[in-house]
Structure 1
């Protein structure tokens, strides 16, 4: 040390501190880097992003390299300061202690805390150039890391800890991915975010939640006079109609209205058999089929309309491809009366809303911001009948959650019209 100029010794010390700061900053940046952005850049051919992902796939080895390098560099810096103090001031104990304390303080501030804060704050800007340096270093240091890992693994086995369980799988679960979307802020347009979240919700609902109930199905009865069939075809709102023979549970096929309209123009003496010849096979599905599964089934079977039946074969409703797609992207513009009603309801200035009993609870929760239970009946009428345990005589009011529901009209053993009024208070009472 006597032959080395003092400025060179301090330059060597500064270089050791710089290297220690680099490893601390690179380690923090790698752990905080956005892996999704890195994968996107790697797919576009970025060599730096590919090198970074290569390092992240070897996280245990990378951490070993950084810890070994930092420990060696910090020890060398302390040893160098000690040697400088002894060379210039002799074996003065208080000088040596002051020098060691000073370099430890510098290491903590300059080589540990500051670079880690910078690495966490500017992870995406630092991680790419740092990976270009770390990747060859990791390859060169493999023999040293392998030697150190022998003792590390032996120590872990002594405490019955499996080395492979130390790090968690980096893949995201659906719930975690949902949280990422919710916390994405303005990075994803609100409409796109809504579609993605609805797609996740599609996994948890069945076709029964999105179907047109049996009572609202527009269907064609072949047992009625032809004039009634003709009148219904000329006023129907749909391109396809389920066709039954006398009773809705006896569905015999699906009629394309365009074909039937062409038949009306061609035939003078029409009979039910003329319409029966135009029918295509009905597509039946069980009522507990998942909405997402049915979306795939529609694609595989090249169908757009399905009849929903229960375990006894009774028709419960009808679901179309449009119904499921609307769950993901929102309602389409349509002129059907049911759609007009569905789009019209909302709270008025007094905090009230008048609804039909057949309104779906999922639509009410979505449009009115309520939290009615969805694990039982699917409509407002069904929920009230289950809650009251009887068919009420209007008027009667119940409080469910933060809402007072007033039954305004009952007809044919079902609740036809209700009024909802917002209040505060989570209790359930009659």
Structure 2
């Protein structure tokens, strides 16, 4: 009987030990770092997620597994920010101007270049600037070169899963995409890559990217130049690309329409009339492209300073 009891105790101890080990394994899997492990694990050659049948589409695990497939299917060029939209700073920038760029852009990391963006020299982090020169710390002489961190340079054809692994290994959060001639083609962050797996990531400073325009007053809009022309036409119930001087097949955005009407890249503050009687005011532009526009429809009342009579409550952001 004693032997039987002893055997039962041994079995219970082994069972308890196994249960404890199982609980510990489950706890390890539930830790936050498990996300990265699962993402990187999806790059294993033995992964058969692409061949597995789709379970209930309502489950979050299914959405996650479908996103994991993007690590192999998608390339860097599919998710990168195009060169024209990259916000960067020259290596000769002054501290006051650098602070203003950080404030206006809402970015925490900015690539720095020498001469042109095709000659990048590194990346400047807002935290480095704040720790060295912020919090009322004005004793250190500003030197951008000492704050620059190295950048990754990747080809546009690289699978995003490979880049994600590389970023994790080298502890880099930003990479510049380089074309076949060595010029900068785009920019990608680690957040851009992870979003392809788990969906959009937004923080307190993110704005609604789908908001391409805002109505300041009846008949007056502030719009991004990249606003799709057809969507804006539907909003104002007016065809802007119909006319002998305008070829609709060659125009996709409001900025493209204004460029065609002006015959050149208009400068900030320039007024470009439309045959319908509407007017386009260039609110923001650089020598290469238009960024923001104010659109006044025919019949809209205009107050002092060229703006609509009712003050604006909201502005589009570029």
TM-score, with length taken from structure 2: 0.51
**Residue 330 (1) aligns with residue 228 (2):** no
Conserved 8 A contact 1:397-1:407: no
Label 1:199 to 1:244 Cα distance change in 2 as closer, same or farther (>3 A).
same
Higher strand share: 2
- 2:113 aligns with 244
Report the Cα distance in structure 2 between the residues aligned to 1:278 and 1:191, rounded to whole angstroms.
41
Within the alignment, does 1:176 sit opposite 2:51 as a pair? yes
Q: Deviations over 1:170-201 (max 9, x none)?
A: x9955431xx11xx236xx4332122112113
Pair member with larger Rg: 1
Match of 1:308 in 2: 177
Distance 1:225 1:304, change over 3 A: closer
Are 2:124 and 1:255 equivalent residues in the alignment? yes
State whether residues 226 and 254 of structure 2, in contact with CA within 8 Å, keep that contact through their aligned partners in structure 1: no
* CA shift for structure 1 position 235: 3.7
SS at match of 1:266: coil
Aligned to 2:90: 221
The residue correspondences of 1:75-154 to structure 2 (distance < 5 A) are none
SS at the partner of 1:284? Answer: strand
Out of 55, 74, 77, the position equivalent to 1:205 is 74
> Displacement, 1:409?
3.6
The match for 1:340 is 208
Structure 1, unmatched stretches of 5+, are 1-43, 45-170, 346-353, 360-392, 399-404, 418-430
Partner in structure 1 of residue 60 of structure 2: 191
Is contact 1:212–1:317 with CA below 8 Å preserved after alignment? Answer: yes
Query: Counterparts of 2:208 and 2:154 in 1: how far apart (Å)?
Result: 28
How do 1:324-403 residues align onto structure 2 when only pairs under 5 Å count? 324-334=193-203, 340-342=208-210, 357=226, 394=246, 396-397=248-249
* Residue deviations 1:255-283 (CA, integer Å, cap 9, x gap): 12122123143236855xx1211111222
Q: How far is 1:289 from its partner?
A: 0.8
RMSD: 3.5
Q: 1:218 offset after TM fit, Å?
A: 2.0
Which structure carries more helix by proportion? 1
**Deviation of 1:311 (Å):** 1.5
CA–CA separation in structure 2 for the residues paired with 1:288 and 1:172? 22
Q: 1:267 is matched with which residue: 125, 138, 156?
A: 138
Alignment gaps of 5+ in structure 2:
1-21, 23-45, 214-222, 229-244, 260-264, 266-287, 293-318
The alignment of Structure 1 onto Structure 2 pairs a total of residues equal to 192
- Asked if 2 retains the 8 angstrom alpha-carbon contact of 1:207 and 1:287, the reply is yes
Structure 1 pair 278–308 and aligned structure 2 pair: CA distance change class (3 A): same
Distance 1:296 1:394 in 2: 48
CA distance in 1, matches of 2:211, 2:196: 14
Deviation at 1:206, TM superposition (A): 0.6
**Which whole-Å deviations, capped at 9, do the CAs of 1:58-101 have from their partners, x for residues lacking one?**
xxxxxxxxxxxxxxxxxxxxxxxxxxxxxxxxxxxxxxxxxxxx
Offset, 1:310:
1.0
Contact 1:358 1:416 (C-alpha < 8 Å) held by counterparts:
no
Post-superposition CA distance 1:209-244 (Å, at most 9, x none): 111121222222223444322422344412221111
- Point out which structure has higher relative CO (alpha carbons under 8 A, 6+ apart): 2
Q: What does residue 125 of structure 1 align with? A: none
Query: What is the SS of the residue equivalent to 2:150?
Result: coil
Question: Given that residues 249 and 314 in structure 1 are in contact (C-alpha distance below 8 angstroms), is that contact kept between their aligned partners in structure 2?
Answer: yes
- Asked whether the equivalents of residues 108 and 127 of structure 2 are also in contact (C-alpha less than 8 Å), the reply is yes
For 1:221 and 1:172, the matched residues in 2 are separated by 44
Match of 1:298 among 167, 179, 193: 167
Distance 1:268 1:216, change over 3 A: farther
Equivalent pair of 1:243/1:253 in contact (CA under 8 Å) = yes
**Any idea what SS the aligned residue of 1:281 has?**
coil
